[in-house]
Structure 1
Amino acid sequence: MRVALSNAARVWGGAERMTLAVGEGLRVRGHKVTLFCRAGSPLHQRAERSLPCVPILGGMDLSPRTVARSAAALRRFRAEVVVTFAVKDPRWLVPAARWVGVPVVVRHPMDRPLPRTPYHRALYAGVERWVANSEATRATLQRTAGVPRERIVLIRNGFDVERWAAAPPADLGLPPGARAVGFVGRLERRKGLFELALAWPRVAARIPDAYLVIAGVGPDEEAFRAALAAAPRVRWLGFVADPAPVLRALAVLAMPSHFEGFGLAAAEALAVGVPVVATATSSLPEVVAHERTGLLVPPHDPDALAAALIRLLEDEPLRIRLGAAGAAEARARFALDRMLDEFEALLLEVAR
């Protein structure tokens, strides 16, 4: 099977990691894979080591130049199916694929509404199948874009769980006996950064050996740093290429997002045996089971977030129990091979 993947994102995040994982995994399984991406993007820089890349994506919606170049590249590659991974990709790849008669699968990466203007309805009509990475995202696609449920395939994110579980813990430079609460991800408001900033002083006052460890970069980093400027015991790691060792070194992961598409950092924390405090919103309750693999709190509630973090930091047996259950859950539900099996079956069905 000849598969063209696309992802025009300018940043590196969960959707980009899944794009690369699917591309590399399908190639290992004997399929021909090429990646359409944005020139010089973090994904382009990483993917060109293992996948043929076509770095031509960019420009306005329905950019004639991008659509024409994409159609020509699909024809040269003799693509049998196109899979888009970033939100803007369909605005170029759907018309390009229709031009050359190739079916398109759109993976919608985020639990956010899609517009239903005449333009968008016409665009969505050219999509053969949709992939949602959570039930929450699938429901949003049905509700906002009017996509029939039978055209939406649920494929949850997957990763190399065993590699993550075997990663050695990072040296975070903390004093002996310190307990680390971690945040791992893009530093953007929707991740609940400012609720965490409000919760942390209460946690730090109650748990004198607790440290907040923040791994990531993003558009709201400056404001987040300012919000935590007076807070005690905060460590900033910046961008971390491989977060597995950082997660292994944590006592608890905080994920107070306002919405997600899936919640990859939460699943990865479970894989290394770290319990998660997450918000009971969007897809996160599908990843974190309340009182079984972590604790769920209401979104936008710093007091509830602080109370849950304090509870886990003070109760080591609870942390151990939730962590062990989370590791078993990750092995059962989030394996890379399971995700690749499901993508491969879908694409073989759709490919012309």
Structure 2
Amino acid sequence: MARAVPASAPGGAAKPLQIVARVHAMPPEHNAGAEHMLVSMLRPLVERGHDVQVWLSRYGKASKVYDYRGIRVVPLEARLDFPSAVRKADVLVSHLECVPSTAALARGYGKPVVVICHNTHRPTFRDAAAGGTALAVYNSQWMRAEAELFFAEYPKAVRPGAELIVRPPVFADEYATRPGQAITLINCNAEKGGKVFAELARRMPEQQFLAVRGAYGEQILPDLPNVEVVEHVRGEDMREKVYGRTKVLLMPSSYESWGRAGVEALASGIPVVAHPTPGLCESLGEAGVFVDRNDVAGYEAVLGKLLAPAEYRLASKRARARSIELNPTAELAAWCDAVEALA
């Protein structure tokens, strides 16, 4: 099973580094793929002995500094001085909406900044190419290819000093469990397939469905006797509250740059039925069962077939094999080495 990179991993900085990340939200209050990817990447840096801090840019429920998996998280409500932390930092890290402001501070204080890219939208590449990015991290091969198209289209854009692919790391032993009986959707907004889920629940009244409330977007939660709604779940509780109750995971998303939830499900041998976005095709590989999100009847037919014991065993075997293929150890070691090389 895949674990975080141990402190004894090859490479390593000459001294412990101060690594400061600036993002809008963090677990346990906000649990989404980008945040858990960031946590999974920061944990091995902590295990290598570095001081890792995450400073939040939005107000939330937390008002005091707290520890999350060895990472010091500083809420905006704590009213501490972020520029002072930047001055003391060896490396800055950011993603999504916080990249422009973090990069500006990095330029002002002469600090290297790492930008983690979670999607292929043009603003993501534009922000990473605004100048001064020491390292850009792409979460998939197809995102890396999309970045190449961006730089070809905008030849005057400033290319990051270095680029690296780190697929959203999933430590399989933290998610692996015995699958349950439900057909599950995680984050029931329309873009993630909430309408598809609701229609399938109506068409399959004898089957148990599990709707997991997501961290963002208007949730479509059907009021049906065969649908159980689970409130927003912390990442460390997903094994017990979600995957231990799931037989098949649905991912009829209109867009996924990778699809972390699908990879988490694979660790338990849970088959994933998904819309064929480039990200999901890359992440799930041969383990994925792909159906267009507009073909609800197709989803119903595939589910009917998958729920047959013999077919389920084969699909589950493919899922476990793909989970092993996605062991993140080597990519995380390369990530840690790349961050340490910036100091």
TM-score for both structures, normalised by structure 2: 0.80
**Distance in 1 between the 2:37 and 2:62 partners?**
11
**Distance in 2 between the 1:132 and 1:199 partners?**
34
> Partner of 1:183: helix, strand, or coil?
strand
- The answer for the alignment partner of 1:161 in structure 2 is 172
What amino acid sits opposite 1:53 in the alignment? V
**Distance in 1 between the 2:243 and 2:300 partners?**
20
> Structure 1 residue 40: deviation in Å?
5.3
Residues 43/6 of structure 1: CA separation in 2 closer, same or farther (3 Å cut):
farther
2:100 is the counterpart of 1:91: yes
- The answer for the alignment partner of 2:7 in structure 1 is none
Deviation by residue 1:228-281 (Cα, 9 ceiling, x = unmatched): 33x451111112221112213322111111111321110011001111101111
2:337 is the counterpart of 1:345: yes
Q: How many percent of aligned residue pairs carry the same amino acid?
A: 24
- The answer for the alignment partner of 1:53 in structure 2 is 73
Gaps of 5+ in 1: 58-64, 171-178
Query: What is the CA RMSD across the aligned residues, in angstroms?
Result: 3.0
**Counterpart contact for 2:215–2:232, Cα < 8 Å:** no
- The answer for the alignment partner of 1:309 in structure 2 is 303
> Structure 1 residue 180: deviation in Å?
1.4
**Counterpart contact for 1:187–1:219, Cα < 8 Å:** no
> Structure 1 residue 219: deviation in Å?
4.8
> Partner of 1:130: helix, strand, or coil?
strand
**Distance in 1 between the 2:65 and 2:31 partners?**
10
2:322 is the counterpart of 1:329: yes
> Structure 1 residue 312: deviation in Å?
0.9
**Counterpart contact for 2:252–2:293, Cα < 8 Å:** yes
- The answer for the alignment partner of 1:110 in structure 2 is 119
Deviation by residue 1:196-224 (Cα, 9 ceiling, x = unmatched): 2233323x05xx3x1111122355455x1
**Counterpart contact for 1:70–1:93, Cα < 8 Å:** no
**Distance in 2 between the 1:159 and 1:122 partners?**
25
What amino acid sits opposite 1:51 in the alignment? I
Residues 47/265 of structure 1: CA separation in 2 closer, same or farther (3 Å cut):
farther
For this pair of structures, how many residues does the alignment match?
314
**Distance in 2 between the 1:91 and 1:23 partners?**
21
2:40 is the counterpart of 1:21: yes
Residues 89/267 of structure 1: CA separation in 2 closer, same or farther (3 Å cut):
same
2:239 is the counterpart of 1:244: yes
What amino acid sits opposite 1:71 in the alignment? P
**Counterpart contact for 2:248–2:273, Cα < 8 Å:** yes
**Counterpart contact for 1:112–1:137, Cα < 8 Å:** no
**Distance in 2 between the 1:42 and 1:334 partners?**
34
- The answer for the alignment partner of 2:208 in structure 1 is 211
> Structure 1 residue 107: deviation in Å?
0.4
**Distance in 2 between the 1:46 and 1:303 partners?**
49
> Structure 1 residue 95: deviation in Å?
0.6
TM-score for both structures, normalised by structure 1: 0.78
> Structure 1 residue 133: deviation in Å?
0.8
**Distance in 2 between the 1:43 and 1:264 partners?**
26
2:304 is the counterpart of 1:288: no
2:69 is the counterpart of 1:72: no
What amino acid sits opposite 2:333 in the alignment? D
**Distance in 1 between the 2:257 and 2:64 partners?**
24
Match of 2:91 among 74, 81, 104: 81
**Distance in 1 between the 2:101 and 2:225 partners?**
48
Match of 1:142 among 148, 162, 167: 148
> Partner of 1:262: helix, strand, or coil?
coil
Which structure has more relative contact order (CA 8 Å, sep 6+)? It is: 2
> Structure 1 residue 168: deviation in Å?
5.8
- The answer for the alignment partner of 1:196 in structure 2 is 197
What amino acid sits opposite 1:98 in the alignment? R
What amino acid sits opposite 1:296 in the alignment? F
Residues 300/128 of structure 1: CA separation in 2 closer, same or farther (3 Å cut):
farther
**Distance in 1 between the 2:300 and 2:64 partners?**
39
Residues 163/72 of structure 1: CA separation in 2 closer, same or farther (3 Å cut):
closer
**Distance in 2 between the 1:260 and 1:54 partners?**
29
Gaps of 5+ in 2: 1-16
Structure with more of its chain in helix, by fraction: 1
**Counterpart contact for 2:178–2:268, Cα < 8 Å:** no
**Distance in 2 between the 1:164 and 1:115 partners?**
30
2:240 is the counterpart of 1:268: no
> Structure 1 residue 141: deviation in Å?
3.1
**Distance in 2 between the 1:115 and 1:21 partners?**
21
What amino acid sits opposite 2:247 in the alignment? A
- The answer for the alignment partner of 2:183 in structure 1 is 181
- The answer for the alignment partner of 1:174 in structure 2 is none
